[in-house]
Amino acid sequence: MVYDNLKVEKDGNIAVVIIDRPELKNALNLDLLESISQAFTDLKQDTEVNAVVLTGCDEVFCAGFDMNTVMNLGQDKMNKVDLIEKAFLSVLRFPMPVIAAVSGPAIAAGFDLMVMADIRIFSQTAKVGQAEIRWALTPLNDPLWKIVGLGRAKELTMTGRLYGAEEAREMGLANYVYPVESYLNEAKTLARKIAAFDRQALKANKDQTNRIPGMDTEAAIRTQVWGFRNFVGSEDMISRMSEFLHSKK
């Protein structure tokens, strides 16, 4: 498939989705948002893809919304804002794990897009923050607060300041930080490792991790045990455990 300002590359059982608007620092306009939504919708139908890496380029992940786009949202506002929601949710709800590989700025809407991923790998040059408050806009607090805690999320959204890669790792926003020369390869390596696991178990695990934070503890435990029951004793489970035990012998 061909997408506007977006490239999709398949590599075995992983896919790499690349934001490709470098002349404007990968800023999000309506065409690019539509491309993101469509790409993740298409990949959802690809049963060979077990994990996705979402990235930009070494210089910039995504500098946020194209300001001309935002200033013109007043015309047909509801339909255009719906497109923003659709793009972000296409990443958050993607049934398989998504890893964001972030280098350079990931700011405002670029930050929000990054947070939709399940795991975040930064280069040492990453610079991230929610700058919406500077422009008299409101940012996304969820799922951010579930990742960094409510106090940190309030700080991020209320101050609009930018954070470096190491500070982002300290607060739990970045899972790993690598040199700019290797961050993308590290993200792909992790994606391949994850993609080697059972596809249905991966889907069920992601579904659980998205749903249980909103549940009370008893309902969350019941949901997770139900998921475990669906997989325990499966042919793939027995095969993988037998292989592991044999290798230890």
Residue 164: Cβ within 10 Å count: 17
Three-state DSSP at 112 gives helix
Residue 226: Cβ within 10 Å count: 11
- For residue 17, the one-letter residue type is V
Q: Is 132 in the active site? A: yes
Q: What separation, in Å, do the N-terminal and C-terminal C-alpha atoms of the chain show?
A: 47
The one catalytic residue among 48, 85, 132, 243 = 132
- Range 129-156 burial, b when 16+ CB lie within 10 A, else e: bbbbbeeeeebbeebbbeebeeebbeeb
| Catalytically active residues, by annotation | 132
